Amino acid sequence: MAFLHDPTQNHLLAALPQAEFARLLPHLELVPLLLGEVLSESGGKLTYVYFPTSAILSLHCQLQNGSSSEIAGVGNEGVLGVSLFMGGLTTPSRATVQTGGYGYRIAACTLLDEFKRSQSVMHLMLRYTQALLTQMAQTAVCNRHHSVDQQLCRWLLLTVDRTDNCELKMTQELIATMLGVRREGITEAAGKLQELGLIRTRRGHITVVDRAGLESHSCECYDVVRREFSRLLPTRPYRPVAPPPLLHYQRPQSRTSSISAM
């Protein structure tokens, strides 16, 4: 089955001025991003920067004992590789694919050249970096002060915001890993939300049934992150000139992932 792809499905790419977008377009490479794929390791130097469209990426920190937790997610609202803009080139976090899909990658050196050349690109990427830092800070506060139920609500809402539907192909074990809690805690929290009619669960899938109800049961952390992204980043602009060419990608017949759905 062929899928239709467009770089402006990523909100940052869509928000670029026409001239800057036209310069970057020939360098954008459509790539499949598979569940569990590692895109960057802790301390590794960036070779590519990724703009997800349908995939969702996870930034997480791993401790010496092997445990880890997510510090931020990146979907079609953002980009993986902000350390490039900050001058550090590497970060202590690890980036993996949380939800399989597609995205566009570009050589880090190419984007950095455009970042230095264009104030519009610089300001857009720095505003996104500020929003991402807000997400990281709020995640740390939420994980320390709020219940597992509230953390799950926040995480589900942020994840649904990055997808085209309310059904997530996600195991409770993977969510527990993302939040850094025991799987039993996620199972109990999901059961409560299902009893309230807010979500529906089946093996390897979670469907948000009542989004408004889920928001009312979440802590303030979700709204803080959502409002900061809305404040700092523009909505998708109208392009009065001819749009970029739409690309077709034929999904590979057989590829496996290091993480399987439950």
Q: What is the pLDDT of residues 119-163, one digit of tens each?
A: 999 999 999 999 999 999 999 999 889 999 999 999 999 999 998
- Calculate the average pLDDT of the chain: 86
Asked if 12 contacts 124 with a C-beta cutoff of 8 angstroms, the reply is: yes
pLDDT digits (tens, 9 = 90+) for 15-51: 999 999 999 999 999 999 999 999 998 888 889 999 9
**CA dist., res. 106 & res. 110, Å (int):** 7
**Residue 170 and residue 254 in one domain:** no
Are 56 and 152 in a shared domain? no
CATH number, domain containing residue 253 = 2.60.120.10
**From CA 185, how far away is CA 163, in angstroms rounded?**
25
Contact (CB, 8 A) for 10 and 51: yes
- What strands, in cross-sheet order, belong to the sheet with 205-208? 167-168, 205-208, 199-202
Same domain, 168 and 76: no
CATH number, domain with residue 182: 1.10.10.10
How many Cα atoms within 13 Å fall on the side-chain side of residue 235?
Answer: 2
Do 89 and 130 have their domain in common?
A: yes
Residues of the domain holding 196: 147-218
| Contact present, 57 and 73 (Cβ < 8 Å) | yes
Does residue 102 share a domain with residue 60?
A: yes
Q: How confident is the model at residue 235 (pLDDT cuts 50, 70, 90)?
A: low
Rounded distance, CA 87 to CA 198, Å?
Answer: 43
Q: Please report how many Cα atoms fall inside a 13 Å half-sphere around the Cα of residue 148, on the Cβ side.
A: 20
Examine the domain organization and report whether 103 and 185 are in the same domain. Answer: no
Examine the domain organization and report whether 101 and 210 are in the same domain: no
pLDDT at residue 13, rounded to an integer? 96
Please check whether residues 48 and 130 belong to one and the same domain.
yes
Both tokens of 218, joined, read: 């979440």
45 and 117 fall within a common domain: yes
Distance CA(56)–CA(70), nearest Å, equals 13
Same domain, yes or no: 61 and 122: yes
What would the pLDDT profile of 57-90 be if each residue is shown by its tens digit? 999 888 888 778 899 999 999 999 998 888 877 7
Within this chain, do residues 166 and 237 fall inside the same structural domain, yes or no? no
pLDDT value at 241 more than 70: no
Percent of residues, the chain, with pLDDT higher than 90: 65
Tally of domains within the chain? 2
Please give the model's pTM, rounded to 2 decimal places.
0.85
85 and 2 within one domain: yes
